[in-house]
Amino acid sequence: MSARELRGRLVRRAKRAELDLTPELADALQAYYELLARWNQKINLTSFKLEEMSDEALDRLLVEPLIAARHIPVGNRTAIDFGSGGGSPAIPIKLARPELRLVMVEAKVRKCAFLREAIRALNLPDTSVETARFEDLLPRPELHESFDLGIMRAVRVEGQVLRTVQAFLRFGGELFLFRGPSGQLPDPLAPLQWRHTVPLTEPGRGRLIILEKTAVPA
């Protein structure tokens, strides 16, 4: 895998999705991908064979989060990522929206070590890692209704999961669910309501489902 080839393919995939990358953002995304590829040889961060630089891997890990970042409302300042794994989509979103204060929640210690190294290597300000299951953060009242945005990809979405994660969102906050083309969701439970569904990259490959936390009717 040459750095030039990676850079060229990343820029082409971004343009295909109607994204124009600044040189600084392209540099940062490339650095993240290369770091992920090195660590993935030692611990299982993603099932993609990153040395092959497939279009699917570039789209899933880098381009889809950038598409999602365009849908984050102006003025959002805080985000929490549930089940961060190898850092996508949270880290590319942070690179695209550096003003966000990001908390990544991951239960596996070795993956948390990678996330902390990525924060250091990429020089990500206002970014931290919680080594815990997100359910275990519920007893911490300072986290309740503290975030403008919740992010979730590699988590099975069930009613109980939605009830748990909504507790961390402020009213008016949004939950971004990255789903496959056929992944089913339970009906959103109050105070979560469906707001929008965004196609991601290739038609039929994946969707971004956006739920909003609204006030419970009196």
CA 30 to chain centre: 17
Q: DSSP state, 42?
A: T
Domain count for the chain: 1
Q: CB-based contacts of 82: which residues, under 8 Å, 6+ apart? A: 105, 134, 150, 151, 152, 155, 165
SS3 content of the chain, % helix, strand, coil (to 5): 40, 25, 35
- Domain extent for 174: 3-213
Tell me if 104 is assigned to some domain: yes
Tell me if 195 is assigned to some domain: yes
Tell me if 218 is assigned to some domain: no
Q: What percent of the chain has pLDDT over 70?
A: 94
43-52 pLDDT, tens digit each: 999 989 888 8
Please state the three-class secondary structure of 17-41 as a single string: CCCCCCHHHHHHHHHHHHHHHHHHC
Other CB atoms within 10 A of residue 206 CB = 19
Tell me if 150 is assigned to some domain: yes
Tell me the backbone φ, ψ of residue 181, rounded to 5 degrees: -65, -25
Find the CATH number of the domain harbouring 141.
Answer: 3.40.50.150
Taking CA atoms, 97 is separated from 68, 73, 100, 159, in Å, by 11, 11, 6, 30
CA distance 129 to 141: 18
Residue 182 pLDDT level (bands cut at 50, 70, 90): low
Q: DSSP state, 142?
A: G
Write down the pLDDT at residue 122: 98
3-state secondary structure of 99: coil
Mean pLDDT across the stretch 7-14?
Answer: 93
